Amino acid sequence: MPSYLSLQMMLCEMNRTLRPPHKSIIPLFSSVPVFSVFCNRIMKNCVVHFVSKIKNGRHKAIIEAPFNAETWEIAQALQRGGYIRAAAIDDNTIRVLTKPFAIQDIKLLSKSSRPLYTDIPKYCNFIDQTLLWTPEGIFWDYEARKKRLGGEVILRIR
């Protein structure tokens, strides 16, 4: 049986190309009983890493983070929301050109140990905006309300 570290490294490599990875990889590792939970945690850890990079470097001009399909979608959503100027992929890294002082606070709401789900968002808070992971992709709360979608709440940004 492969070690925990080798599985984690292999999953991070596969996670760059497959989304969601657990649906197409489970037959390869059917002997591992906790594979889907493990893979979900790897995916969340990449998102946690990206959000902490943005939180700690929000006053810098350029932020670099490892490339991942989920983090790339979050970067595009942040660009749509006007919180960053641009995002580009360069040699398996995401480079984010930030707007100084556009992000006052960013908080990860859904964690691997405690995912937070919502139906169609019912209220509109003009101070905080939340990012939702829906079956159709990653949307802001006002976009999900227009499309009448619910999903997992990823983060809150102010």
- pLDDT tens for residues 15-49? 544 444 344 444 444 444 433 343 445 556 788 88
Residue 78 confidence (pLDDT): 92
Residue 95 confidence (pLDDT): 92
Tell me: pLDDT of 82 over 70.
Answer: yes
Q: Could you state, in order of their start, the residue ranges of all structural domains in the chain?
A: 4-157
DSSP string, 19-40: SSHHHHHGGGGTT-TTHHHHHH
For residue 58, which amino acid is it?
A: R
Residue 114 confidence (pLDDT): 85
Show the tokens assigned to 53.
């990079």
pTM, two decimals, is 0.69
pLDDT tier, 58 (very low <50, low <70, confident <90, very high otherwise):
confident
DSSP string, 101-144: TS-S-EEE---SSS--EESS-----SS-EEEEEETTEEEEHHHH
pLDDT tens-place string over residues 132-150: 999 899 999 889 989 999 8
Residue 26 confidence (pLDDT): 40
pLDDT tier, 119 (very low <50, low <70, confident <90, very high otherwise):
confident
Mean of the per-residue pLDDT values of the chain: 76
Report which of 53, 35, 33, 55 is spatially closest to residue 43, judged by C-alpha positions. 35
* 4-157 is a CATH 3.30.1490.10 domain: yes
Residue 61 confidence (pLDDT): 86
Which are the contacts of 65, defined by CB distance < 8 A and separation ≥ 6?
49, 50, 53, 71, 93, 94, 96
What are the Cα distances from residue 90, in Å, to 24, 67, 94? 27, 9, 6
Which are the contacts of 29, defined by CB distance < 8 A and separation ≥ 6?
7, 35
For the ranges 10-14, 46-50, 95-99, 120-124, the lowest mean pLDDT is seen at 10-14
